[in-house]
Amino acid sequence: MKHGKQMRPNGISWYFLVFLVFFSALLGACKTSKENNDDTTILAILLAHSASAPCSTRCHMFLSANTPRGFIGAGGIVGADAVCNGDLNKISGKTYKAMVSVPGVREALGNPTGTMTYTDWVFKANTFYSNSIDTSNTTGATTTSNRIFRDSNTTMQMNFALGTNGTRFWTGMTITGGNLANDVNCTNWTSSNVGVSGVTGVVGASTTTLVETTTDTCNVAKKIVCVEQ
């Protein structure tokens, strides 16, 4: 008995049918791969456009609508930053950090006109910061090369009111011997107890003093300063 190609009744070879099945599967796999790659590319583009680009020579800052006690958000720097980025006064699509100090975590230390050191500091050098709730984007102040404000030669003073006159906000920073330094900060912003204190800054009639020596007990609700990154 001769063994040749096995034929179906309609004359089509079994081998040819197997080849067609394999080729169809290969084409399907290639098409799926291409579609998946296209989807991945589109997703990457969308993510890139939705990410917050860092501000450069002009940035925003604001006084929070939220008024946390000394235990800010979930606590610490992470909690304070989360409060800023979820605040009603933030500009959508921008990323903010809270201007509150925790030793070794976020701080600006040293001589305001000399040598300073920084850890995760919120301000950039020689940058104009405007109040994000000012739609004209013109009310603001410019930092020095030391990444601080010195309007009217007063350390950490801005010659515009960031909010309502008399409003106080948490900072954890002070000025001692002319130098910027850390101070009491509601146990690194994890306590709202009446027996614990934190340093504050204040909004004036036409100025904002970001750093001073006034403290308050941590059970009192206050705002925080949020700075665009």
User: What is the pLDDT, as a whole number, of residue 104?
Assistant: 97
pTM (two decimals): 0.77
Biggest CA pair distance of the chain: 110
- Of 9-18, 53-62, 163-172, the one with minimum mean pLDDT is 9-18
Mapping DSSP to helix (H, G, I), strand (E, B) and coil, where does residue 170 land? strand
The pLDDT, as a whole number, for residue 53 is 82
CB-count burial class (<10 Å; 0-12, 13-18, 19+) for 145: exposed
Which one, of 73, 80, 125, lies nearest residue 98 by Cα? 80
* Residue, of 25 and 223, whose pLDDT is higher: 223
Other CB atoms within 10 A of residue 179 CB:
15
Confidence label for 1 from pLDDT (cuts 50, 70 and 90)? very low
> What CA–CA distance (Å, rounded) separates 207 from 19?
81
- The answer, yes or no, to whether residue 213 has pLDDT greater than 80, is yes
What 8-state DSSP symbol labels residue 94?
Answer: -
Question: What confidence score (pLDDT) does residue 23 get?
Answer: 42
* pLDDT > 70: percent of the chain: 76
pLDDT in tens, 87-125: 999 999 999 999 999 999 999 999 999 999 999 999 999
pLDDT tens sequence across 19-78: 444 444 434 433 433 333 333 333 333 333 344 688 988 899 999 999 999 999 999 999
- Which has the higher per-residue pLDDT, 135 or 148? 148
Q: How far apart are CA 27 and CA 191, in angstroms?
A: 63
CA dihedral angle for residue 99, residue 157, residue 208, residue 170, rounded to 10 degrees: 30
Average pLDDT score over the chain:
83
